[in-house]
């Protein structure tokens, strides 16, 4: 029988972080994250200015090179940031075991590059398949509602072939386009609700997969998801209650994220900044990075260590059951 008290993990994390020098490691990790994001954003701004200043056929080659650099920077940031973040999760796993973490431990995400990449791909493919399924279900449900009548009237084309439909939509006026979008709004609402009801609980069972990747040397992408689902079987409520324990942390991060759109939000409220355009966007983004740095340094060690403690407790309880979570081997889609 599970007797986990989720309040214990938050207080236990504070105790285990005493004397671990976690704050300096958080400063180092978050500092690199924020600095890299700032440098990439400034480079993107400079590249955009360069692209805007080149025109005509003579500048075609320069624009192509600058746009390629922009794309490479964007994808490099998207790929490398999750693996860098995984290193801090490994540090929190060590802290939850009353062990010390060094800066070298932050590279663990890159050492486990293959398994973690497999996990990200498996989770993404699953999410896409579920969203496609929800899209088919929502379209079928939409056609049974009275709202489908107005949609069919708008898209009724003689012959009902896709080419004729595409031509009709290309010749539509702005008013007709907005009417078509409004007629599809019920289907989008159904799709959104179905996606939340099906996808969120499903992915929630894989919340501990990263810790499995770090704790189990033989675990790969799919096997880490299976182990996480086994550990959280009938225990997802425990993880959710721990999420509620840190509502203030997620609330601060949400408020922090709103700073990215500070210039737009102020404009909606009728407040005009003395400077506008891309300069204002850069300033608000800088404020966002500064706030993010403060929040992550102050609170992330405790939060991640609490989740790592819950993972270790669930793992210990799972190993005492009759059927302990197994580690499937030699999966064809796993990467070494």
Q: Which residue has the tokens 């990439």?
A: 40
176 falls within a domain:
yes
What is the mean predicted confidence (pLDDT) over 296-307? 92
CB burial of 306-316 (b: ≥16 within 10 Å; e: otherwise) equals bbbbbbbbbbe
335 falls within a domain:
no
Which pLDDT tens digit goes with each residue over 230-272? 998 888 888 898 999 999 999 999 988 888 776 666 666 666 6
User: Under 8 Å CB-to-CB from 230, ≥6 apart: which residues?
Assistant: 318, 325
Q: What is the pLDDT of residue 137?
A: 84
326 falls within a domain:
no
| 227 has pLDDT over 80 | yes
Number of domains in the chain: 1
1 falls within a domain:
no
> H/E/C letters for each residue in 21-48?
CHHHHHHHHHHHHHHHHHHHHHHHHHHH
Distance CA 117, CA 80 (A): 11
DSSP annotation of 272 reads P
Q: What is the pLDDT of residue 110?
A: 92
pTM of the model: 0.78
CB burial of 57-75 (b: ≥16 within 10 Å; e: otherwise) equals eeeeeebeebeeebeebee
Distance CA 258, CA 266 (A): 11
Which pLDDT tens digit goes with each residue over 18-28? 888 888 999 99
Q: What is the pLDDT of the chain when averaged over all its residues?
A: 80
Distance CA 142, CA 72 (A): 40
Residue 263 structural domain: 6-319
Counts of helices then strands in the chain (DSSP H, E): 14, 0
63 falls within a domain:
yes
Which pLDDT tens digit goes with each residue over 125-142? 998 998 888 888 888 877
- Report the Cα–Cα distance between both ends of the chain, in Å, rounded: 37
Query: Highest mean pLDDT: which of 155-169, 246-260, 267-281, 309-323?
Result: 246-260
Q: What is the pLDDT of residue 159?
A: 42
The continuous run of DSSP H or E covering 88 comes out as helix 60-96
């Amino acid at each position: 029988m599970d007797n986990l008290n989720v309040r214990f993990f938050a207080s236990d994390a504070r105790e285990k972080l005493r004397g671990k020098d976690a704050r300096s490691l958080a400063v180092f990790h978050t500092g690199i994250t924020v600095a890299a994001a700032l440098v990439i954003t400034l480079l993107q701004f400079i590249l955009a200015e360069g692209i805007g200043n080149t025109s005509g056929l003579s500048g075609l080659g320069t624009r192509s090179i600058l746009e390629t650099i922009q794309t490479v920077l964007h994808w490099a940031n998207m790929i490398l940031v999750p693996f860098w973040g995984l290193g801090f999760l490994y540090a929190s796993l060590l802290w939850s075991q009353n062990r010390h973490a060094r800066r070298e431990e932050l590279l663990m995400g890159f050492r486990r590059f293959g398994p973690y990449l497999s996990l990200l791909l498996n989770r993404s493919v699953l999410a896409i398949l579920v969203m496609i399924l929800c899209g088919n279900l929502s379209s079928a449900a939409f056609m049974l509602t009275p709202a489908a009548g107005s949609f069919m009237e708008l898209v009724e084309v003689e012959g009902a072939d896709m080419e004729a439909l595409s031509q009709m939509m290309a010749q539509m006026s702005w008013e007709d386009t907005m009417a078509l979008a409004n007629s599809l709004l019920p289907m989008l609402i159904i799709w959104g609700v179905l996606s939340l009801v099906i996808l969120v609980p499903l992915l929630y069972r894989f919340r501990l997969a990263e810790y499995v990747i770090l704790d189990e040397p033989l675990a790969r992408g799919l096997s880490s998801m299976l182990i996480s689902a086994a550990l959280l079987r009938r225990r997802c409520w425990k993880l959710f209650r721990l999420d509620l324990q840190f509502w203030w942390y997620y609330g601060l991060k949400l408020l922090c994220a709103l700073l990215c759109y500070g210039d737009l939000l102020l404009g909606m409220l009728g407040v005009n900044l003395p400077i506008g355009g891309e300069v204002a966007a850069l300033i608000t983004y800088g404020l966002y990075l500064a706030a993010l740095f403060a929040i992550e340094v102050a609170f992330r060690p405790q939060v991640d260590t609490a989740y790592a403690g819950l993972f270790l407790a669930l793992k210990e309880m799972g190993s005492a059951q009759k059927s302990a979570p197994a580690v499937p081997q030699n999966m064809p889609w796993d990467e070494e």
